[in-house]
Amino acid sequence: MFIPQSYALAVLLCVITMICWGSWANSQKLASKSWPFPLFYWDYAIGIVLCSLIFGLTLGSSGSEGRAFLDDIAQADSSAIGSAFIGGIIFNLANLLVVAAIDIAGMAVAFPVGIGIALVLGVLVNYLAEPIGDPLILFLGVALVVLAIILDAIAYGKLSQGKAQTPTRGIFLSIAGGILMGFFYRFVAASISTDFDAPEAGLMTPYSAVFIFALGIFVSNFLWNSFFMFRPLQGQAVSYADYFKLGTLKLHLVGLLGGIIWCIGMSLSVISGEKAGFAISYGLGQGATMVAAAWGVFVWKEFKDAPKGTSTYVRLMFLAFILGLVLIIFSRFS
C-alpha cells in the first residue's frame, strides 16, 4: 500500500487534508438554494464511502508495504473494527451538530466555537495517546491557530453587526459538536497499527480503518440524519421520498463531490499518522477553518461590504494561522 516515507511528505499530505476539509462545504453552498441540507448530506455520506473504497482497492492494495486492503479487513479483530466504526458514528453526529449550529447561529459563532474546541481536544487526546513532538511547541502552535479562529469570529461578527442576537441554542450545539469532534479521530487512530510497513495482527492499516469509519458514518446516518430530516432544528421537515423527488443528477453529483473531497482529506491525514504523529496530522487538518475563511474572503467576497477595520482582523487571522501551522510542523523536529 502507499504510505509516505518521510515527514516532509506527511506534512504535505496534511496540508492537502486541511485544504480538503476547508473546501468541501463549498459543494453544500452550491446546492443549498434548491436542496435541503439533510438530503444533501445523504449524498455526502455516500461519497465518503465510495472514496474510501476506491482508495482501499487502489492505493491501499498496491506496493509491497503493509497488507492489501481486503486481506487487512479479513484479519482485523472485532475491537479494531468496532473502534473505527464508532469513530464514524461520533464524527457523523458531531458534524451534523456543527452544521445545524451554523444554520442557527451563523458561521461567525458556530465554526470558531465548534472547530476551536475540536482542535484543542483532538490534539490533546491524540498527543496523550501517542506523545510525538515537543509539547510546548505543538500546543503553542495550537494556541496560535485558536487565536486565528477567534480573530475569524471577530471579523465575521463585524460583518454581521446590526443583525439579530445569536440564539443560545446555536452556541450549545456548537459546543456539543466541537466536543464530539475532538474525540472521533482517536477512535480511528486506535484501530490502526503504529507500524504501517509491518502492521500488527488484529489491527488495521489506514485504508481499511477509513473504510470502516466511512461505513460508521453511513449506517449512523439512518439515525442521526433521519432526526434532522423529520425534526429539523430550523426550516421545514423533509422525507426520504423528497430525496428522489427533489434531487436532480447535478445535485446528487455535487453532494457526492463534497463527500469525496472530505474523504480524500481524511485518508491523507490518517496515512500521514505514522510519520507525523496523529496529534500533528489532526491539528494540521483542523486548520481547515482558515481555508474556509480564505474561500469566504477571496472567492465568495464575504467581506466586501464589511465595516472599516475588519480587514485588520482578517490579516491578523491569517498571520496567526500561518505561524501556528509552522510551529505545529516544527514540533516534530524537537
The per-residue DSSP string of 18-54 comes to: HHHHHHTHHHHHHHTTTS-HHHHHHHHHHHHHHHHHH
Of 265, 286, 281, which Cα lies nearest the Cα of 332? 281
Cβ-based burial of 9 (10 A; exposed 0-12, middle 13-18, buried ≥19)? middle
Q: Taking a C-beta distance cutoff of 8 angstroms, is the pair 159, 302 a contact?
A: yes
Q: pLDDT tens digits for 117-127?
A: 898 899 999 99
Per the domain annotation, does 305 fall within a domain? no
Q: 147 lies in a domain?
A: no
What does the DSSP assignment read for 201-218? TTSB-HHHHHHHHHHHHH
Closest CA to 40 of 199, 238, 255, 186: 255
Cα gap 314→94, rounded to integer Å: 27
Asked if residue 187 is part of any domain, the answer here is: yes
Q: How many domains does the chain have?
A: 1
Alpha helices in the chain (DSSP H): 7-23, 25-31, 37-57, 69-75, 78-105, 107-129, 135-159, 168-190, 206-230, 240-246, 249-271, 273-276, 278-285, 288-294, 310-330
Residue-level pLDDT at 60: 96
Record the pTM.
Answer: 0.91
Q: Is the pLDDT of residue 334 over 70?
A: no
Statement: residue 99 has pLDDT above 90: no
Mean pLDDT, the chain, whole residue set:
90
Position 103 in a domain: yes
Q: 198 Cβ partners below 8 Å, 6+ apart?
A: 66
pLDDT, tens digit, 9 for 90 and up, residues 274-320: 999 999 999 999 888 888 878 878 887 777 777 888 889 989 989 99
Averaged pLDDT for residues 202-223: 98
Would residue 292 count as lying in a domain? Answer: no
Helix axes 7-23, 249-271, angle to 10 degrees: 150
pLDDT at 107: 64
Domain contains 159: no
Q: Find the mean pLDDT for residues 129-148.
A: 93
What pLDDT does residue 109 have?
A: 66
pLDDT of 34 reads 77
Examine residue 229 and state whether it is found in any structural domain, yes or no: yes
Report the C-alpha gap between 99 and 79 in whole angstroms: 30
pLDDT of residue 174: 85
> pLDDT value at position 193?
96
Lowest mean pLDDT among 211-220, 252-261, 318-327: 318-327
Look at residue 165 and tell me whether its pLDDT is greater than 60.
no
CA–CA separation, 270 vs 118, rounded Å?
17
Rounded to a whole number of angstroms, the CA Rg of the chain reads 19
In a domain, 209, yes or no: yes
Its domain, for residue 40, covers 7-132+167-280
Percent share of the chain, pLDDT over 90? 65
Give 204's strand partners.
192
Within 13 Å and on the Cβ side, how many CA atoms surround 196?
A: 24
Phi-psi region of 308 (alpha: psi -120 to 50; beta: other; left: phi over 0): beta
Mean pLDDT is lowest, of 115-124, 128-137, 153-162, 242-251, for 153-162
